[in-house]
Homo-oligomer: A and B are copies of this chain.
Amino acid sequence: MLDLTPDELLTTTRTVRRRLDLQRPLDRALIEQCLAVAVQAPTGGNRQDWAFVVVTEAERKAAMADVYRRAWDRYVEQGVLAPPSRPDDPTERRQARRIGRSARHLVDHLHDVPAIVVACHHGRFDGRPAVVQASMYGSVLPAVWSFMLAARARGLGAAWTTIHLFYEEEFAQILGIPYAEVTQVAMVPLAHSVGVDFRPGRRAPVEDVLFWEAWESGG
């Protein structure tokens, strides 16, 4: 276990893609420990309607990586997700290119990552109102983040990804997930990290995103 203060833990748990150790075996007990910590995250009404599929088999990982590659190509081609908020900012453009190269690296190596965790929530929520969507995602995504934080404390690295959801049904078939009854919410490749010397990332100043009392009066 790394000796990290709460703030160190929360500010140095980064998206790890290039620094995933693809050679070093990953003990199942470590993954179980991370999950035992993760399920202490809150859920609406303490319902815990979550499930986590962890894949280590080579053939199944290869099938997942194939879907992920197609999802990535579609993501790049279509730019379906939200565009950058400041597309004319050269720093942001540079960063976007760097993230793009790192993400592409993950696409090319996903099949070699020791474990891939797919987080799920029971029920389908497509087209439901925001109050239901926020409740469902709010009842599983904190656990996903806790999982990544618990992994970081154990010298592991992970990356939060969602683009495989372009092909969620195909992914469900690969994993045997009953698509009509279960929503996938994130895919988290997991490995020992190459080194543990992660630093806080580049972020906009807090005053840019913090409004006191009302939207207009601050920020």
- A182 / chain B contacts, CB cutoff of 8 Å: 215
| Majority secondary structure, A binding face | mixed
Q: Number of copies of this chain in the oligomer?
A: 2
What distance in Å separates the Cβ of A109 from its nearest Cβ neighbour in chain B?
Answer: 19
Q: A135, B150: Cβ atoms under 8 Å?
A: no
- A184 / chain B contacts, CB cutoff of 8 Å: 130, 134
Q: B85, A47: Cβ atoms under 8 Å?
A: yes
Partner of A211, one of B52, B96, B99: B52
A89-119 vs B, Cβ < 8 Å mask (1 yes, 0 no): 0000001100100000000000000000000
Q: A138, B160: Cβ atoms under 8 Å?
A: yes
Q: B40, A185: Cβ atoms under 8 Å?
A: no
- CB-CB nearest in chain B for A2: B6
What distance in Å separates the Cβ of A72 from its nearest Cβ neighbour in chain B?
Answer: 12
Within 8 A of B (CB), among A42-99: 42, 44-57, 60, 80-82, 84-85, 95-96, 99
Docked CA distance A117–B161 (Å): 27
